[in-house]
């Protein structure tokens, strides 16, 4: 599992490469993400119902992908390149973005807690069965039982390592991105 410092260092390196390649706009220590939209249909899902709108998946994907390169040192400013929205639509867009990413942060944090419980369970089972295996290793009384205990302990330790190495780091990075986007400042500019 990567430490927070290692994750921040990785994000800074990724950000520097992204900034160099994409000429990312940084003003007043804020990172700007420009997204061109033609209408509310580009932001709001077609499956939304009135007073219960949802962000479109494509809009979320683009925003998340672009924000994933920005380090936590820079507040994110979403620059929507279309200034033809009514004041009510602008308020709705800001609210939907904040609510979506705040909810995603809570969901991912809950998943992370579940993953930690799961990994601790596998570690406990693995160590427990390795101790049993160590105590019974020279004993021929149990025959195939030792092989079963060996398999269970190896499998449990393998699952623990897989969860820690692959799932936990990815989920931690998603939480950081969602938390960062839940504080995004949304501005509307005329498309030039």
Q: Each residue of 121-157: b (16+ CB within 10 Å) or e?
A: ebbebbeebbebbeeeeeeeeeeeebeebbebbeebb
Res. 192 pLDDT band, cuts 50 70 90: low
pLDDT > 90 fraction of the chain, expressed in percent and rounded: 32
| Contact in structure between 183 and 174 (CB atoms under 8 Å) | no
Sheet containing strand 25-27, edge to edge, reads 25-27, 30-36, 76-81, 185-189
Would you state the pLDDT for residue 140? 65
Would you state the pLDDT for residue 21? 53
> pLDDT tens digit string along 93-130?
999 999 999 999 999 999 999 999 999 999 999 999 88
Res. 173 pLDDT band, cuts 50 70 90: confident
Total-model pTM: 0.76
Beta bridge partners of 34: 79
Would you state the pLDDT for residue 142? 63
Residue 60, CA distances (Å) to 57, 63, 104, 136, 163 in order:
5, 5, 11, 55, 26
Range of weakest confidence among 1-15, 132-146, 171-185: 1-15
């Amino acid at each position: 599992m990567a430490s927070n410092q290692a994750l921040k260092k990785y994000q800074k390196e990724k950000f520097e490469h992204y900034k160099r390649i994409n000429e990312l706009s940084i003003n007043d220590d804020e990172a700007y993400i420009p997204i061109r939209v033609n209408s509310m249909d580009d932001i709001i899902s077609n499956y939304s119902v009135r007073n219960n709108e949802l962000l479109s998946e494509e809009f979320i994907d683009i925003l998340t992908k672009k924000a994933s390169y920005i380090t936590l040192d820079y507040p994110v400013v979403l620059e929507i390149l279309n200034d033809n929205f009514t004041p009510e639509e602008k308020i709705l867009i800001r609210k939907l973005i904040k609510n979506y990413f705040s909810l995603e942060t809570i969901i991912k944090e809950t998943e992370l807690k579940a993953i930690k419980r799961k990994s601790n369970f596998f570690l406990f089972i693995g160590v427990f069965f390795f101790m049993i295996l160590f105590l019974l290793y020279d004993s021929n009384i149990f025959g195939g039982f030792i092989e079963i205990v060996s398999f269970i302990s190896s499998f449990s330790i393998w699952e623990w390592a897989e969860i820690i190495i692959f799932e936990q780091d990815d989920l931690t990075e998603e939480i950081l991105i969602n938390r960062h986007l839940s504080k995004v400042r949304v501005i509307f500019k005329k498309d030039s």
